[in-house]
Structure formats: structure tokens, C-alpha cells
Amino acid sequence: MSDFHKSLIKGKAVEYEVAKLCARFGFSVVSTGSFGNADGVPKGLTDDETIIAPDLLVSRPNASMSISPVMAIEAKCKDLVRGNIWIDEERMNYAKRWSDKFGQPFLFVFKRPPYDEINAELLICASVERLYGNYDAYNTLSTKRDRKTPEPTFIYDPHHFVPFIDFLQHGRQQMSFSFFVRQPDGSEVRI
């Protein structure tokens, strides 16, 4: 079995562990992994683009609110590299685009080794809102798994992340709205 397929199996197990943990804390969970396209990557559609979808969409019904905000989660196996957490630029950019286009908070949930041990204490998280633009270093020489294809990477000190169990037990979502004006060149400016 290739390294990619082994990694995929571990990743799906972590995704399922995160989904079960969310459900245990009262969240409704939808896995987007079963919805995909020819390349097997789940996608979301907007009026002007196709965006890679997160692994999970979760919401927690709340009796005091008439709506239940949906939150996107990307769940991955992630070991420290030289003491830091590395997130490739492409992943960060699609997470930011998803959050902006769909108006959903986006949370990265990473499991530290051992990956096959079911243990909520091994899960850490941070929001795209916290991470985007707040990296500690940027590595232009990173490569994809094939060790040939360039894949620039943002590098974060672990202090940017909190235990996922703390978020589930004590975290809260705060809804806000942003307004944008589309420019003639197709870009958008936040107002």
C-alpha cells in the first residue's frame, strides 16, 4: 500500500474520531467526504467558483437561537515539524475562501501522534480567523509528499492552538457579518 493510501486511512480515522467527539458534545455533524467529484475531493459551489470543502460541517442546536450557525472543520493527522505546526498555503487559502464565501467559521483540528490511539487530549485546534496572516514563518522551499512539487508552507508555533476538548466544552461561537463590494476586476473589497 502506498504512503498516500496509508495516510488517507489514518486521516479518515481521525476525521471520524473528531466527528464522534463533536456529536458527543451535542453537535450535529455532516461529513462532506461522501460527496465528491471525479478527483475524489469534496467541493462546494458558489456563483463564481468551486472551492475545496472541509471534512466536516457541524452545528449545535441552541434553544435560545432561531438559527444554528454551521462551522467547518478540517481534521488531519499533524505531527510537529522541528517543534512547529506546518500548514500548506493551498490548504490555508481554500479554508479562508470557504469561510469567506460560505460565511462559516472554519476550524483546523489536528491530531498529534499516536494517531491510532483514541484520545481527545491528542487533538488541538485553531480557527482560520486566528491563523490567517498570523504565521510565525513562511517556507517557500517546502514540497508535497512526492518531495519534488513545490508547496509553500505557513509555520506556526503551537501556542496558536488550544486543546480541541477545551473548545468543545467551553468554546462559543460568535456570529458576525462582513460586507464586500465586488470590484471591476472581480476581486472583492471588505467595507
pLDDT digits (tens, 9 = 90+) for 87-134: 999 999 999 999 998 888 999 999 999 989 999 999 999 999 999 999
The mean pLDDT value of the chain amounts to: 86
Phi and psi, residue 22, nearest 5°: -60, -45
Q: What is the pTM of this model?
A: 0.83
Q: What is the mean pLDDT of residues 159-172?
A: 89
At 82 the pLDDT is 92
Instruction: Say if strands 162-163 and 50-52 run parallel, antiparallel, or are unpaired.
Output: unpaired
Tell me the domain boundaries of the chain. 3-80+87-133+157-190
How far CA 66 is from CA of 62, 155, 170, in Å, comes to: 8, 39, 21
The length of the chain in residues reads: 191
Q: Which burial class, exposed, middle or buried, applies to 89 when counting CB atoms under 10 A from its CB (0-12, 13-18, 19+)? A: middle
150-154, 173-177, 186-190: range with lowest mean pLDDT = 173-177
The dihedral built from the CA positions of residue 125, 59, 92 and 99, taken in this order, carries a sign that is: negative
Q: Which helix (H) or strand (E) holds 19?
A: helix 3-24
At 35 the pLDDT is 39
The answer as to CATH 3.40.1350.10 being correct for domain 3-80+87-133+157-190 is: yes
pLDDT digits (tens, 9 = 90+) for 32-88: 864 334 456 777 777 777 888 899 999 887 655 555 678 999 999 988 999 999 999
At 141 the pLDDT is 95
At 60 the pLDDT is 82
Q: Do 68 and 62 touch, CB atoms closer than 8 A?
A: yes
pLDDT digits (tens, 9 = 90+) for 122-163: 999 999 999 999 999 999 999 998 899 999 999 999 999 999
What secondary structure letter does DSSP report for 38? T
